[in-house]
Amino acid sequence: MVTFLPSRPGRLADVPSFTRAIGGAESNVACGLAAAGHRVRWVGRVGRDGFGDHLVDAIAGHGVDVSAVGRDPHRPTGVYFRTDEDRAGDAHEVVYYRAGSAASAMSPATVPYDVVAGARILHLTGITAALSADCLALVRELTAPRPGRPLVSFDVNHRPSLWRGGRAPDVLLELARRADLVFVGADEAERLWGTGDPAAVRALLAEPEVLVVKRGGAEAVAFRRRVALGRVAPGRVAPGRVAPGQGDPLPAPEPRPDVRPVASGARTPSDPPVSAPGVRPSDSDAVTAVPAPRVEVVAPVGAGDAFAAGFLSATLRGLDATARLRHGHLAAAAALTVPGDFAAPPRRDRADRLAALDGAAWGTLHLGPGWTGDDQEGPDRTGDDQEVRTP
């Protein structure tokens, strides 16, 4: 999808001009993972028009495989306009022009399963499911239980303006329960299911092996199942078994393709529980909570997609739960400190140094515009306020 960014703050009615950029949750995650060094394929559908050309070329320019992107000669590429304000605030405006778009025509018939079957992680979002009945059928098909299914990552990504008839709560809960790894914001869980409490959300979503509840700029909490629920995670082959057609037991090692329609991942042994205020661990879960660093926000858009990319990247690398959450926070901070929807993550060595800080140093981390630049040696600075920023 092509996004148009406002030239200045204010209502859409008052913004005189816009800048064209690439947008869309799945493509943002794809670009973030490719920038982090992973092999990624984006599976989508765009119009055979100038906006479609721009979108495919721009995403490919980030190192993403776009060979599975369909071009629709009869439907246009979707676009949207937005304001600069925080998406969660009342002043934020976003206008989608996606009805009848090429992406809304995706279906099990236009996206064959074999284009995603070889990935280690398949990343999906609730946005695709909201576009049309055919798109919902596609997401249901891709999350259906089957032997050897890729690890399915699902970002709830509730966009109220895309849903009709009050179906979002039930449909998104159904899809999330079919996934292996789920991302959800506490605010959207509150809107959808009446609770933003992480433990209560986990009670609703007991099926996924991993659940990440994001509490805005405060913290992120990861629940990882450590006691079997009496069955294999949705759609997965039992640990140690060989999936049909596979030569290695799951989880498969590198170098399987990393990510489609954006992603891929690997599993590590269960991480020890970490107590978190307001979170009540159950006997079946290891719980890890990591506070978000302090960030000087330039534009409060794109952080959720970036967090998912950072978390999935650390998952692919086999890092522990704390490191996964910290890499998610760092990628989100990169997005928050630029004006557009997407920002390349920090270099891996820099992100690794920051993610390895002790608890006290992490707690004083301060990230400002330009902190990911190669000319900064921020990760090595210490003081009263651990800073990674440019003046």
pLDDT of residue 298: 85
Q: Tell me the pLDDT of the chain (391 aa) as tens digits.
A: 898 988 888 999 999 999 998 888 999 999 999 999 999 999 999 999 999 999 999 999 999 999 999 999 999 999 989 887 665 666 778 888 888 899 999 999 999 999 999 899 999 999 999 999 999 999 999 999 999 999 999 999 999 988 988 999 999 999 999 999 999 999 999 999 999 999 999 999 999 999 999 999 999 999 999 855 443 344 443 222 222 222 222 233 334 446 664 333 333 333 333 434 445 556 689 999 999 999 999 887 789 999 999 999 999 999 999 999 999 999 999 999 987 778 888 999 999 999 999 999 999 999 999 998 744 444 333 333 444 432 2
Q: What totals of helices (H) and strands (E) does the chain contain, helices first?
A: 11, 16
User: Strands 2-6 and 79-82: what pairing?
Assistant: parallel
pLDDT of residue 259: 60
Q: Cis peptide leading into 251, omega within 30 of 0?
A: yes
pLDDT of residue 258: 60
Rounded to two decimals, the pTM is 0.83
User: Strands 366-367 and 18-22: what pairing?
Assistant: unpaired
Q: Strand, helix or coil at 169?
A: helix
Buried b (16+ CB within 10 A) or exposed e, 353-378: ebbebeeeebeebbbbbbbbeeebeb
Element (DSSP H or E) covering residue 139: helix 133-142
Q: Give the Å distances, CA to CA, from 174 to 154, 192, 199, 208, 297.
A: 11, 12, 18, 11, 34
